[in-house]
Amino acid sequence: MMAETYKGEFYCVKCKEKREAEGDVVISESGRRMAKGICPVCGTKLNRILGKA
């Protein structure tokens, strides 16, 4: 089974701007779906909460 991916806008805390990136969808400990990616400009890890699984 292929891992689910998310492509869209993330907010980079280091750059303080919205960035287009692609990341893997994971389930958090609280049961929420989150996309985790890397900022294409500064290389910081990005998170975006997508909602409940």
- Report how far residue 16's alpha carbon sits from residue 32's, in angstroms, rounded to the nearest whole number: 24
Domain that holds residue 28: 5-52
DSSP 17-51: EEEEEEEEEEE-TTSEEEEEEE-TTT--EEEEEEE
Output the pLDDT for position 3: 77
Mean pLDDT of the chain: 91
Question: CATH number of the domain that 48 lies in?
Answer: 2.20.25
Average of pLDDT values for 3-19?
94
Q: How many domains does the chain have?
A: 1
Average of pLDDT values for 34-42?
95
Q: Is residue 39 scored above 90 in pLDDT?
A: yes
* More confidently predicted of 2 and 33: 33
